[in-house]
């Protein structure tokens, strides 16, 4: 993240390297290329009992440097605002920096419905590593059939307010990143995991105008930005089966644990050609990104759909 901080920070002479317009344009570019709102690690473990009930444990971590960068950008924006309106900023200077992790935890408590109908928030505690800060939240559910998981953790990052559209759905949420479940009780019980469907292709007549693409896929600044963002980013979703698995077509299984996705973006930064391709295509969903990185060593990606698990 030092590279990102350098791009957003000063130029070494004490002057800002970017004005507000440039700051916002670069921030938008990051979101478009990376799908998410920052350097985030989102690890989800769904534990399922033979009666279809269970728990969801989610650990969300954001790099400390990214949090600091957000605060610096906020300070720059305030300074720009003061220059434009000539307002006294003494009160703002006295205000303590926001508790970013605390705000994330508050959001987690209100986000139980994001996991589906009937999911209840149980607890949340702070989590921290040497390079990142965040929380671990636990949710419970009685019926796995009503649980849904979104592979894209962007709305969990600081600064995303989870805005709703007129139908009450999250703006920017994509059905192409949603994992769904079907469960039948029995001995053995059968769990079916429906992975996100491929993005529907429109014919030429009904196709919407394509979004603007970068003029050059090998823009050095864009590639360096992606490398800095990807370095700390990771997404994982796994199932913990509370019983003996008697049959499954899951690709990545270790004992009772089945991994649906374990995507360490840091493993991508050494492949410059792949980064150029990502910069050119700008995938809109994690499912699109998964197809682009298929075959990269060290990534666990489930392409079987549905995934079935029989256990008792």
Task: Give pLDDT, residue 210.
Answer: 52
Percent of the chain with pLDDT over 90: 39
pLDDT at 79: 60
pLDDT of residue 183: 98
How many beta carbons lie within 10 A of that of residue 156, not counting itself? 25
Does 158 score more than 70 pLDDT? Answer: no
When mean pLDDT is compared across 39-43, 48-52, 92-96, 139-143, the lowest value belongs to 92-96
For 86-102, how does the pLDDT look when each residue is reduced to its tens digit (9 = 90+)?
A: 555 555 455 566 677 88
Q: Give the pLDDT band (50/70/90) at residue 278.
A: confident
Q: At what angle do helices 272-281 and 220-230 cross, to 10 degrees?
A: 100
Q: Do residues 177 and 286 touch, judged by C-beta distance below 8 A?
A: yes
Evaluate whether 67 touches 100 at the Cβ level (below 8 Å). Answer: yes
Q: With beta carbons less than 8 A apart as the criterion, state whether 31 and 75 touch.
A: no
Q: How many H helices and E strands in the chain?
A: 8, 13
Range of lowest pLDDT (1-10, 120-129, 131-140): 1-10
What's the chain's Rg over C-alpha atoms?
Answer: 21
pLDDT value at residue 36: 44
pLDDT tens figures, 259-271? 999 998 888 888 8
Region 42-52: mean pLDDT is 97
Question: Among 9-18, 198-207, 298-307, which is the least confidently predicted range?
Answer: 9-18
What pLDDT sits at residue 199?
62
pLDDT for 290: 86
Tell which wins on pLDDT, 81 or 63: 63
pLDDT tens digits, one per residue of 167-213: 444 544 455 689 999 999 999 999 999 998 866 555 445 554 455 55
Among candidates 146, 147, 153, 200, which has minimal Cα distance to 172? 153
User: How high does pLDDT run on average in the chain?
Assistant: 77
The Cα 198–Cα 132 span in angstroms is: 33
Across the range 47-59, mean pLDDT stands at 97
Predicted pLDDT of residue 123 = 97
- Coil, helix or strand for 203? coil
Question: Would you state the pLDDT for residue 152?
Answer: 78
DSSP string, 263-284: EEGGGGTT-HHHHHHHHHH--S
65 pLDDT higher than 50? yes
214-231: string of b/e by CB count within 10 Å (b at 16+)?
Answer: beebebeebbbbbbbbbb
pLDDT at residue 208, as a whole number = 47
Average pLDDT over residues 111-122: 95
Find, among 124, 133, 122, 127, the residue nearest to 106 by Cα.
124
Region 123-147: what's the mean pLDDT?
95
pLDDT at position 256 over 90: yes
Query: Cβ atoms within 10 A of the Cβ of 300, count?
Result: 14
Domain spans in the chain, listed from the N-terminal domain onward? 2-83+99-201+214-311
Q: What is the pLDDT of residue 160?
A: 53
140 versus 102: the higher-pLDDT residue is 140
Give the pLDDT score at 71.
64
- Higher-confidence position of 77 and 165: 77
User: Which residue, chain included where needed, has tokens 């400390």?
Assistant: 64
């Amino acid at each position: 993240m030092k590279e990102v901080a350098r791009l957003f920070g000063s130029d070494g002479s004490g002057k800002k390297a970017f004005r507000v317009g440039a700051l916002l344009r670069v921030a938008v570019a990051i979101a478009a290329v990376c799908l998410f709102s920052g350097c985030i690690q989102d690890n989800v473990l769904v534990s399922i009992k033979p009666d279809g009930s269970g728990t969801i444990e989610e650990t969300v971590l954001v790099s400390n440097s990214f949090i600091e960068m957000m605060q610096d950008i906020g300070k720059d924006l305030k300074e720009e605002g003061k220059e434009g309106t000539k307002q006294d900023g003494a009160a703002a200077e006295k205000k303590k920096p926001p508790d970013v992790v605390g705000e994330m935890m508050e959001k987690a408590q209100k986000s139980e419905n994001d996991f589906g109908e009937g999911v209840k928030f149980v607890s949340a505690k702070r989590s921290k590593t040497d390079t990142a800060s965040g929380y671990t939240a636990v949710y419970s559910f009685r019926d796995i059939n009503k649980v849904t998981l979104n592979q894209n953790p962007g709305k969990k990052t600081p600064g995303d307010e989870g805005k709703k559209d007129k139908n009450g759905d999250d703006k920017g949420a994509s059905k192409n990143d949603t994992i769904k479940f079907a469960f039948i009780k029995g001995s053995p019980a059968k769990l079916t995991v429906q992975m996100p469907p491929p993005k529907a292709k429109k014919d030429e007549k009904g196709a919407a105008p394509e979004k603007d693409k970068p003029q050059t896929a090998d823009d050095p600044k864009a590639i360096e930005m992606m490398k800095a963002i990807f370095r700390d980013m990771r997404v994982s979703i796994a199932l913990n089966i509370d019983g003996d698995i008697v049959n499954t077509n899951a690709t990545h299984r270790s004992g009772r644990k089945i991994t649906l996705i374990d995507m360490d973006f840091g493993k991508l930064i050494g492949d410059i050609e792949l980064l150029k391709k990502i910069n050119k295509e700008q995938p809109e969903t994690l499912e699109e990104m998964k197809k682009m990185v298929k075959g990269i060593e060290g990534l666990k990606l489930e392409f079987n759909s549905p995934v079935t698990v029989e256990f008792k």
